[in-house]
Amino acid sequence: MDIICEDFGKLQDGRMAHLYTLRNARGAELRASDYGGHVQALLMPDRNGKFIDVALGYDAIGTYEQEDKYIGALIGRCGNRLARGQVTINGKSYQLDCNDGKNHLHGGFAGFNKRLWQAEPCGEGLRLSYVSPAGEGNYPGELRVTVLYSLSDDNAFGIYYEALSDADTICNLTNHTYFNLAGFASGSVLKQCIQIFADEYTETDQESLPDGKILPVAGTPLDLRRPIPIGEHIDDAYEQLRWAGGYDHNWVVRNEPCGFLDGLRKMAYAESDETGITLTAYTTQPGVQFYSGNYLDGRPLGKNGTAFGRRSGFCLEPQYFPNALAHPAFDQPLLKKGNIWKARTLYAFGNKK
């Protein structure tokens, strides 16, 4: 794997951000920035060997500083929503930012996606490090985070997360790449197929907060156990979908055996008929948020002046279940002082004929 580093432009505070290009032996590329760990581009071969950029992104660093869609972002400290931003750890309460209506979302107003990380190309890929001071965003404990992005010669984009805190805290790191397997500028993803390896999902209320119920997908439009076009049931008159404007839910990742990949479980599969590009995603995490880009509204403009309209990309965000702290029966995104928090994701690209 070759890694090239370029200047990506100055941040408002004068610091320089960089864009790293990881290129594998087959010519596939991953471009990522040290600003917010954003995945800016992913070039994968279509069925004829032509490289297609399947990740939404922006051309200018200033756009990453402004934007609020989390396009390509590295998310922390806590992915997705926490009701009213209220957290109690060891009997002490913390009020986190309420940056999504009345609730906390993706780490708050200035989460890890708005921080400049330290980047270091290494044998395995690009290593990003960030020390989040105690009290940042009101989260307790100093959190030292390392994230490794890798690109294998068989076109798999791997993400390895590690975090260590000097006090008990919350940790739920994830990635918010929007995929469009027909190319970032190709418009709606509704014709692309999705499959989620899950028999259950966490029911949400009208604010997209899980209410604690884990329900079977069977007999609902959230049954994605067989691959279907994303658009097939997205607009069904089903309360869960209407409230979220489409898919924006957490599925309980099933224990799908995937022998060769130690510790990882298959979470999702997607494909585009147009390009033949397929994506199989694996995680070590208990849940996956499948978000069909319902709130994309064309602003700000993306790469090559592309307006990313509603549902022009989809995200597969592995995670602890959203709002888990309000529901003790869910696995908790808590990190004890001195322990190492670890997670791993693999987005493996392929082709169908």
- Give residue for tokens 């590690």: 162
Chain mean position to CA 159? 11
Among 64, 247, 291, 320, interactor with ligand BGC by CB under 6 A: 291
In angstroms, the CA 159 to CA 346 distance is 6
Half-sphere exposure for 187 (CA within 13 Å, toward CB): 3
Residue 294 or 351 having the CB closest to ligand BGC: 294
- Catalytic-role residue among 136, 200, 271, 317: 317
Query: Active site includes 38?
Result: no
Residue 200 or 248 having the CB closest to ligand BGC: 248
Instruction: Give the shortest CB-301-to-ligand BGC separation in angstroms.
Output: 16
Among 40, 186, 208, 272, interactor with ligand BGC by CB under 6 A: 208
Q: Site residues for ligand BGC, window 79-108 (CB under 6 A)?
A: 80
Among 289, 292, 312, 323, interactor with ligand BGC by CB under 6 A: 289
- Catalytic-role residue among 176, 200, 249, 327: 176
Instruction: Give the shortest CB-208-to-ligand BGC separation in angstroms.
Output: 5
In angstroms, the CA 253 to CA 266 distance is 8
How many of the chain's residues bind ligand BGC (CB under 6 A)?
9
Instruction: Give the shortest CB-172-to-ligand BGC separation in angstroms.
Output: 12
Chain mean position to CA 273? 23
Residue 45 or 111 having the CB closest to ligand BGC: 111
Q: Which stretch binds ligand BGC (CB under 6 A): 16-24, 44-52, 287-295, 299-307?
A: 287-295
Q: What angle do CA 19, 21, 22 make, to 5 degrees?
A: 140
Contact at 8 Å (CB) between 288 and 315?
A: no
Instruction: Give the shortest CB-202-to-ligand BGC separation in angstroms.
Output: 12
Binding characters for ligand BGC, 246-275, by CB under 6 A (x = yes):
--x---------------------------
Q: Site residues for ligand BGC, window 107-136 (CB under 6 A)?
A: none
Q: Site residues for ligand BGC, window 22-81 (CB under 6 A)?
A: 69-70, 80
Instruction: Give the shortest CB-71-to-ligand BGC separation in angstroms.
Output: 8
Q: Is 195 exposed, middle or buried (0-12, 13-18, 19+ CB in 10 A)?
A: middle
Query: Active site includes 176?
Result: yes
Q: Which stretch binds ligand BGC (CB under 6 A): 46-54, 145-153, 263-271, 288-296?
A: 288-296
CA torsion 313→319→321→325, rounded to 10°?
-130
Residue 51 or 295 having the CB closest to ligand BGC: 295
Contact at 8 Å (CB) between 18 and 33?
A: yes
Binding characters for ligand BGC, 301-340, by CB under 6 A (x = yes):
----------------x-----------------------
Active-site residue list: 176, 317
Where along the sequence are the contacts to ligand BGC (CB under 6 A)?
69-70, 80, 208, 248, 289, 291, 295, 317
